[in-house]
């Protein structure tokens, strides 16, 4: 009888430890998912217009999956932004030549410090960004 109670106590303690650890793991997973899947929760969306340094990307990513899950086509008018929700449409205007185009956010990035937007080859061609590679742009959120 004594051994049975002791074994039962050990099992109960182990079960409690597993439950506590699993809740901590689930909680940390939930937090990381909230920040990666719902980025609009961590940005201020009151400003519908802002300026940033933009660069373009294309050949090395053409045909590969974007963060949104769709296949990247460098000739489409798309862009990568760190926090704007996928599907958001923004007007990108090159502040040097005033050329603009409307792109759809379908990827995450840029991952180079100081840059706020990565646009596709097609979008870069439309606003005259291909040669320079980077430029200051005005971004207007259209939704």
| Cα first-last separation, the chain | 69
* CA-to-CA dists, residue 86 to 16, 82, 108, angstroms: 41, 10, 9
What is the full per-residue pLDDT of the chain (143 aa) written as tens digits?
556 677 666 766 666 655 555 544 444 433 333 333 334 333 444 578 999 999 999 899 999 999 999 999 999 999 999 999 999 999 999 999 999 999 999 999 999 999 999 999 999 999 999 999 999 999 999 97
Distance CA 76, CA 12 (A): 59
Distance CA 99, CA 93 (A): 6
Instruction: Indicate the domain borders of the chain.
Output: 2-37, 47-141
Nearest alpha-carbon partner for 120 in 142, 90, 83? 90
Report pTM.
0.68
Nearest alpha-carbon partner for 50 in 143, 137, 110? 137
**CATH for the stretch 47-141:** 2.40.40.10
Nearest alpha-carbon partner for 92 in 67, 128, 59? 128
Nearest alpha-carbon partner for 130 in 108, 91, 101? 101
Distance CA 74, CA 60 (A): 9
Q: With residue 139 as reference, give the H or E element that holds it.
A: strand 134-141
């Amino acid at each position: 009888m004594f051994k049975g109670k002791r074994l039962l106590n050990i099992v109960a303690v182990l079960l409690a430890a597993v439950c506590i650890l699993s809740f901590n793991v689930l909680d940390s997973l939930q937090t990381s998912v909230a920040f990666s899947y719902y980025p609009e929760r961590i940005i201020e969306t009151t400003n519908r217009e802002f300026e940033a340094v933009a660069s373009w990307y294309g050949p090395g990513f053409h045909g590969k999956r974007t963060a949104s899950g769709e296949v990247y086509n460098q000739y489409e008018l798309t862009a990568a932004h760190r926090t704007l929700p996928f599907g958001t449409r923004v007007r990108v205007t090159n502040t040097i030549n005033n050329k603009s185009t409307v792109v759809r956010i379908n990827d995450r990035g840029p991952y180079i410090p100081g840059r706020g937007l990565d646009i596709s080859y097609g979008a870069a061609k439309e606003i005259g960004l291909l040669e320079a590679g980077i430029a200051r742009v005005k971004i207007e959120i259209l939704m």
